[in-house]
Amino acid sequence: MVGAVAFDSVRTPYGKAENILGGAATYLAVTASWFAPVRVVAVVGDDLGEEHLRVFQDRAIDTAGLVRTSGKTFRWSGEYTGDMNEARTLETQLNVFEQFSPTLPCSYLDSEFVFLGNIDPALQLHVRRQLTRARLVGLDSMNYWIKGTPEGLKRALAEVDILVINETEARMLSGIFNLKKAAEAIRKLGPTTLVIKRGEHGVTLFSEGGIFSAPAFPLDEVRDPTGAGDSFAGGFMGYLAKAGDLSDAELRRAVIYGSVMASFAVEEFGLSRLLRLTPKEIEARYCGFKALTQFDA
């Protein structure tokens, strides 16, 4: 799991949190760790204390690829209002992330399932090329890179299997409004599988097995959407790593497990809900998705 480890400050209609542990790599690693052993690649500053490292250690996440350097850890602050489908970024401080270009530890080089969280596509490609034994590589990106470094993003996309991206970004990347046609165009750029995240409306998977659409889980309260997309991707990749099989049936189950993890992530601020899950709760919500979607069984 590659991406940022960050300190997030978040405000939503339900309250606020200051400088809590977050970042794509953190959400990816924590959610995937409920399914399979996880290795994390990121850079942190000397403001990251033992109590933060313990979050990874407690989940048995391998931190050999977590580079500690002098300076401050990446910081993001944002707020959610109205339908909470999109954050308004108030401030981004790249800090130690600015100079990050990791050489992976030898112990990581046999990794078979790789997810490149939302960072500079050149950095995603740099990591991806070190992982020559990867069976499945996923990538997340965002409007910032689609507009800012389209060529770099296309080079990275040419070398991955799965793109996980939100609806607006899929339209922006392809220049096509119709999602089915947008998906066809994007799949020609490299990834055979495309997962389009639709926020409160769920997720649609486009793959060689056809199209699969899953709703979001109806929740009583969505307190903090931060990390929902990364939690989806972590659950999705973690489940596939556990299954070890890339059939369409397993891809669909992975979409549901990803949706399960995203639904837990948003119930509370930051990582709180994700850290005190139980396998039983995860299975119960998976069954909840069956009850929510099945007809004519």
List interacting residues with its own copies (CB under 8 A). 83, 177-181, 198, 201-202, 204, 210-215, 218-222, 249, 252-253, 255-256, 290-297
Do strands 136-140 and 113-116 pair parallel, antiparallel, or not at all (unpaired)? parallel
Q: Are residues 48 and 73 in contact, defined by beta-carbon separation less than 8 angstroms?
A: yes
Q: Note whether 119 and 24 are within 8 A (CB).
A: yes
Q: How far is the CB of 185 from its own copies (least distance, A)?
A: 13
Q: Which is nearer to its own copies, 4 or 84 (CB)?
A: 84
Q: How far is the CB of 34 from its own copies (least distance, A)?
A: 18
Name the CA dihedral angle for 185, 186, 187, 188, rounded to a multiple of 10 degrees: 60
CA angle 48, 126, 70 (to 5 degrees): 25
**At its nearest, how many Å lie between its own copies and the CB of residue 73?**
34
To its own copies, the closest distance from the beta carbon of 178 in angstroms equals: 7
Residue 275, SS3 per DSSP = helix
Cα separation, 85 vs 13, in Å, equals 13
d(CA 139, CA 146): 13
Which neighbouring-strand residues pair with 199? none
Q: Which amino acid is at 234?
A: G
For residue 292, what are the contacts with CB-CB under 8 A and spacing of at least 6?
215, 217, 218
- Give the residue with the Cβ less far from its own copies, 13 or 150: 13
- In the bound state with its own copies, the residue whose beta carbon lies nearer, of 204 and 226, is 204
Task: Find the shortest distance in angstroms from Cβ 198 to its own copies.
Answer: 7
**Helix 24-32 vs helix 248-265: crossing angle, to nearest 10:** 120
Q: Which is nearer to its own copies, 30 or 214 (CB)?
A: 214
Nearer to its own copies, 129 or 180 (CB): 180
Cβ at position 14, least distance to its own copies in Å: 11
Q: Of 172 and 292, which CB lies nearer to its own copies in the complex structure?
A: 292
